[in-house]
Amino acid sequence: MILRVKELEMSEQDDDLQARIRAVAEQAIQAYVQGILLPAVLAEQIFREWMHVRKEDTPAAHDVLVRIAQRICSRELYNAWRTKDIAIRNSAFYNIRRYLEHSLLNTRYAAILRTIAHAEEDVIHQTLEILLVVEIKGPDDPAAFLKWIQTILIRQAHAHVQKQQRGGE
């Protein structure tokens, strides 16, 4: 009887974990890799990585699952950005642009840039130019790709604000 109860508890925990992983995967797809990775594939990768890093019976914290998903999506986006397949590369471009737009809104420069005509679009365009036109290899670790492009965006935003404050353009 006790063994059966434990089996049911473990089964419920597994179902809960799978549901939480699916939810994280769907959110990550929307945020980072639409048209590049399927939610079911990402969910499976998240589960495998969680099983690899978990410690004994420690439950999976939501923020840990999110970080795992971000690393996986970052690698996939990096690979899509570097591919020779135009359709996949276009999907990567679309996702990167959306990510940059969202990231820019969360920088300390967002309020200032909103007051300058076309500034937000200029910063995003400058960042994309660096990523797509200039021959840059990228980060050493593809799992850091999202953070790497965010850093470029923040530097471009800072430079744009500094230029405006000095009376540029």
Kindly write down the DSSP assignment for every residue of 100-167, as one continuous string.
HHHHHHTSTTHHHHHTSTTHHHHHHHHHHHHHHTS-----SSGGGHHHHHHHHHHHHHHHHHHHHHTT
Mean pLDDT of 4-33: 79
| Candidate ranges 4-8, 16-20, 51-55; pick with highest mean pLDDT | 16-20
Pull the structure tokens for residue 79: 């690979």
Average pLDDT, stretch 104-119?
A: 92
pLDDT at 40 exceeding the cut of 90: yes
Q: Across residues 56-76, what is the average pLDDT?
A: 91
Residues whose CB is less than 8 angstroms from the CB of residue 45 and which lie 6 or more positions away in sequence, other chains included: 72
Q: pLDDT at residue 8 above 50?
A: no
Predicted local confidence at residue 6, as pLDDT? 44
| pLDDT of residue 57 exceeding 80 | no
Q: What's the whole-number mean pLDDT along residues 116-138?
A: 86
User: What pLDDT sits at residue 131?
Assistant: 87
Binning pLDDT at 50, 70 and 90, where does residue 118 land?
Answer: very high
Mean pLDDT (the chain, rounded): 88
What is the rounded distance in angstroms from the CA atom of residue 3 to the CA atom of residue 55? 23
Instruction: Please give the share of the chain, as a percent, with pLDDT higher than 70.
Output: 89
Q: Residue 10 pLDDT more than 70? A: no
Band of pLDDT at residue 13, cut at 50, 70 and 90: low
**What pLDDT sits at residue 14?**
73
Mean pLDDT calculated for residue range 87-115: 94
